[in-house]
Structure 1
Amino acid sequence: MKKVLFFALLFLPLWLMAQELPFTVKSRTKFSSSAILGYEKVDSVRYYQLRFIQEFNLWKFGLGLDLDFLFDKRISLRKDEWNELEDLLDKIYYLNYGKKGDTFFFHLGGFPGLTLGNGLVMQNYSNMLLYPDLRKTGLMLGGSPHWPTQPSFELFASDLQRAPVLAMAARFKPLPDSTLKVLDQINLGFSLATDTNQYGNLRHLVADSLACDVDLLGRKPATVFGLAYTLPMVKNEKMTLGHYVEFSHILNYGSGVILPGIYADFKALRVNLEYRLYGGQYVPAYFDHYYEEDRAVTQEDELDPFVTKVESLASVKASRGWNGSIQATFSHKVKTRFAWQNMIGRKLKTGKSIWFSVWVDTQYKRLENVSLSYSKIKTERMSIQKFYEPNTDIKSYLTFRISKKRWFLIAKYSESFRDRNKDGRINWIKEVRRSVGAGLKYIY
């Protein structure tokens, strides 16, 4: 079969394009080929980018190769990513076998959003946040043996080459043969995540003038563990009603608990409501989506210019409040989710968060799907008075079929607002990350 290559032109830096796994389309053929032409910023230097992505699928195996070439203004290749043997590992976009729920599975490559349990330990963590400045090849493996206790487990490493974030999660039913119908459904879980060195990313984030200071730093680990149970109270073909409890603790610091969490699952509609209690020196989802940026940051102190995320917990006060979420699916074509958080506490001004997303499989003529997501976390109010408030993310996607099951037009747009200097305002030049992308993909 003749191999077809194509190219896609991106109009602005590919921050978001680089952080997501390849687009999925309806065609179930074994191979696909992509090419992207655009530009990137690495260490504040702009490069032209030529990127080839090859995807192969055979039985339960999947392989994606990411061949990324960066050229400066003189069209000279940036060789830093091609001159060592270990650089070849970074060219693996993904290598996987099976999926969660199988007897055994593994995934090697990028992880755009990983959550453990109900999110007290890790929620929406990404090892791809600093791409292309820092490329990380992570690994997850796990399985669900067919035993009476229905166990399942996952082991995770964010990077196979550098100081990684390590995590594990396991769950099982301790009383599967109980004569009490309620107790035979109880599910116990345990999760653990540790950062082996919170200074691991500093060299890629600080100014060159501080590079020598970074080299003198020792190792600063951080560990969080969690315990949980889930108990369905009513379960039949139409619905499941139950509750859950989760406890987590940041080693040598504070603790938090969901007590209780209540859920109702009606197949097409799922509702969750949680009451949460956080002690002092504790934050939920310690390993969150922005963790790779927040592991350690600089501060205005000549004697101690760096502070880790775990050290910043010393000033965190206790809080309490409610979390809730509603997820709905309509005819397997529309999926939507709305979630909110309202935490209150002494001197706590940023305890509110909202999340919203909608995905539509249109099947309208050639329009394949459309999606939109909006989130605003750790803010003073949930109302949307200004869409560009700190800690706000907006993303949209579109897939359009050009020809029958072969050519697809893909478009993305995103904005991310981060208050990096902690002044409560957004600098539109330094604190806004925008991405507009358009490209093509060919399936063969």
Structure 2
Amino acid sequence: MPLLIVLTAGIAAAQDSLRVGSDVDFRTVLSGLFGTVTVDGAQWQRMVLRPRLVAGKFDAVLDIELFIDEKGRFRDRGWDFDTRTAGFESILRKIHYLQYGDLDREEDRVYVRVGALENVTLGYGLIMSDYRNTLDEPGVKKTGLDIAVRDVSAWSVGVRLIVNDFLDLSRGGALIGARMSARPILYPNEMGVGRLEVGLTAVADVDQFEGLRGLRLPSRPRRDAVGMAGVDAAYPIWDREHARLTLYGQYARLVDRNGVQGEGFGAPGLHLILGPLRARAEYRRFSDHFRPQYFDDLYEKSRARYDEARQTAFTKASALTDTSMRGIYGDARLSLGPVLTASAAYQRLSGQGGATNQRFIARAALAQAFLKRIPYLSQASAYYEKYNIDTRQTGFFDSTLDTFYGYILAVDISQDVAVVWDTRYTFAPGPTLRRNKVLNIQAVAHF
């Protein structure tokens, strides 16, 4: 059982706040991290100085790193400028994230983020849902791009562009997503804005084998691309101040040059917002190899894998089965105020010959207000995800390549010091299924 242990000490060394003018709040925070990480199969020490600057809508966090290898030698990772490519990578490693605006604030019409990407969903998620480029951190660091512009013109036109990693892009193997949406003034509301929203979404992985770039392979596989493109439409059939019910539908098509094909419908669908509850349900129908939410939060691990026993590299697209399916999907998120936040998603599809495809996701986290009532405990959350469940072959909760779960616990050992356990489990192919355990133990001190 491979075990990666990361011991991190975080120290809030300095924090200053300055208000510039009447609207801009200028703040700086300096923290330090020290830990053990796995680099090229060896245990290295990683030291990070992490300054943060917040100025109005702008938020920047940098990582100034030093590495010491298993023999006690300082390495030039992050400081290699001998070639243009190495210098570019060294510069990118110093960016944790740079951000302007906030997607959750409706008044922010422009949003830009460079660096770590989390929970990226395009449209209603039939193509890309909850994608992130941070799955392999801290060992592998990706610097992505997320740009969104919305509410342009009387039609409320919105545009969004996603790039998973600038290094992947420079090597010609990036994951790129784009979306355009609009509200044509066909059925205007009381504000004169169209109620009907239509959108176009396209996502392409230019080279799936870019996911194996860090591995030492006997030979480099040929470039293999995959993509999806689709449309969607939504219309609110009930709209109140704290409640909304939206009717929607979505369609997408799988594009691949190796004979992998198919199309998918998610319609009709209902999206409910009712106070602290967010819920969604839809009927789904897919043909051939098409599978929904293809670019998900595990995609950076599943886009390409290497089977050491067979010495074979394979892509996620090549592992898709040619089976048309139909069924239902639903998800819900509930915030119980000062107690907890919980979410769950479930999909059940069935096809010819008794074939099934299920998906189950569950997450929960205790709220800070509730944690204050529990001595010493300052954070508690857990999650479980499993995709492509076929109960003809394995049990519903039996681990497979598409299983991912873990938990985070934080215990206060004094007023200013806490210890955080972050444990994750993933699985890799081999003669038998291999479980990888990633354990991050973090000590955080505030002064």
Q: TM-score range by the shorter chain?
A: 0.7 to 0.9
1-side partners of 2:67 and 2:77: how far apart? 10
Residue 156 of structure 1, aligned match among 151, 162, 166: 162
Q: What TM-score comes out, normalization by structure 2 length?
A: 0.80
Q: Using a 3 Å threshold, how does the CA distance of structure 1 residues 372 and 141 change in structure 2: closer, same or farther?
A: same
Q: Could you tell me the percent identity over the aligned residues?
A: 21
Of 316, 326, 341 in structure 1, the residue corresponding to residue 347 of structure 2 is 341
1:292 partner SS? helix
CA distance in 1, matches of 2:135, 2:429: 15
How far does residue 394 in structure 1 lie from its aligned partner after superposition? 2.6
What is the deviation of 1:227? 0.7
1:248-280 superposed Cα distances (whole Å, 9 cap, x missing partner): 111251111101111222112222111111111
2:336 is matched with which residue?
330
Equivalence for 1:290: 298
Report the Cα offset of residue 173 of structure 1: 0.9
Partner of 1:361: 367
Aligned partners of 2:397, 2:267: CA distance in 1, in Å? 33
Summarize the Cα distance change of 1:219–1:426 in structure 2 as closer, same or farther, 3 Å threshold. Answer: closer
Deviation readout 1:125-165 (Å, 9 max, x if unpaired): 22233345543211111222353322222111112233311
Task: Give the C-alpha shift of residue 420 in structure 1.
Answer: 1.9
CA–CA distance in structure 1, aligned partners of residues 179 and 409 of structure 2 = 34
Does the alignment pair 1:412 with 2:421? yes
Structure having the higher strand fraction is 2
Of 274-283 and 31-40, deviating more is 31-40
Instruction: Identify the residue that residue 66 of structure 2 maps to in structure 1.
Output: 69
Q: What is residue 81 of structure 1 aligned with on the other side?
A: 78
* Preserved contact between residue 156 and residue 168 of structure 1 (Cα < 8 Å): yes
The alignment status of 1:245 with 2:249, answered yes or no, reads yes
Pair 1:90-2:93 in alignment: yes
Q: Which amino acid aligns with 1:394?
A: Y
The equivalent residue for 2:84 is none
- Would the aligned equivalents of 1:361 and 1:368 in 2 still touch at CA under 8 Å? no
Aligned-partner SS, 2:301: helix
Q: What stretches of structure 2 of length at least 5 have no aligned partner?
A: 18-24, 82-86
| Residue 190 of structure 1: aligned partner | 200
**Are 2:46 and 1:49 equivalent residues in the alignment?**
yes
* Residues 67 and 77, structure 2, Cα contact 8 Å, conserved in 1: no
Structure 2 residue matching 1:13: 3-state secondary structure: strand
CA distance in 2, matches of 1:151, 1:332: 37
Match for residue 402 of structure 2?
A: 391
Give, in whole Å, the separation in 2 of the partners of 1:440 and 1:280. 50
Q: Which residue of 1 aligns with 2:262?
A: 254
Residues 193-235 of structure 1: CA deviation (Å, up to 9, x unaligned): 1112222233313x34x1xx21xx5433222112111111111
Q: Deviations over 1:400-435 (max 9, x none)?
A: 67888xx462513323232523x7x643xxx22231
Structure 1 position 301, deviation (Å): 11
- C-alpha distance in 2 between matches for 1:305 and 1:343: 30
Equivalent residues in 2 for 1:121-132, closer than 5 Å: 121-132=127-138
For residues 340-374 of structure 1, what are the alpha-carbon distances to aligned partners after superposition, in whole Å with 9 as ceiling and x for unaligned? 11111235756122211122223316755432222
Could you say what secondary structure the match of 1:46 adopts? Answer: strand
Q: Is 1:175 equivalent to 2:172 in the alignment?
A: no
1:377 aligns with 2:387: yes
2:102 corresponds to 1:99? yes
| Higher RCO (C-alpha 8 Å, min separation 6) | 1
1:326 and 1:37 mapped to 2: Cα distance? 38
1:107-126 superposed Cα distances (whole Å, 9 cap, x missing partner): 01011332212222112222
SS of 2:45's equivalent?
strand
Counterpart code for 1:168: A
SS at match of 1:200: helix
CA distance in 2, matches of 1:65, 1:273: 40
Matches within 5 A, 1:258-337: 258-298=266-306, 305-313=312-320, 315-331=321-337, 334-337=340-343
Gaps of 5+ in 1: 1-10
Equivalent residue letter for 1:97: Y
Check if 1:39 corresponds to 2:47.
no
> 1:136: which partner in 2?
142
Q: SS where residue 256 of structure 1 aligns?
A: strand
Secondary structure of residue in 2 paired with 1:124: coil
1:183, 1:80 → 2: CA distance? 52
- Equivalent AA in structure 2 for residue 92 of structure 1: I
Give the match for residue 235 of structure 2: 231
Instruction: Give 1:61 shift.
Output: 1.0
Instruction: Give the Cα–Cα distance (whole angstroms) in 1 for the partners of residues 42 and 167 of structure 2.
Output: 25
Q: 1:420 to 1:52 in 2, by over 3 A?
A: farther
TM-fit CA distance, 1:305: 4.5
Instruction: Tell me the distance in 1 between the aligned counterparts of 2:73 and 2:67.
Output: 8
CA shift, 1:75, in A, is: 1.2
Could you say what secondary structure the match of 1:136 adopts? coil
- Alpha-carbon contact 1:169-1:190 (below 8 Å) kept: yes
After TM superposition, give the deviation of residue 236 of structure 1 in Å: 1.6
Distance 1:351 1:14 in 2: 35
Alpha carbons 1:192, 1:223 under 8 Å: kept: yes
AA aligned opposite 1:292: E
Match of 1:88, SS?
helix
Deviates more, 1:378-387 or 1:392-401: 378-387
Relative to structure 1, the CA distance from residue 67 to residue 349 in structure 2 (aligned partners, 3 Å threshold; closer, same or farther) is farther
* CA–CA separation in structure 2 for the residues paired with 1:38 and 1:122: 33
Check conservation: 2:187, 2:194, Cα contact below 8 A. Answer: yes
> What secondary structure does 2:93 align onto?
helix
Determine if contact 2:197/2:235 at 8 Å carries over to the other structure.
yes
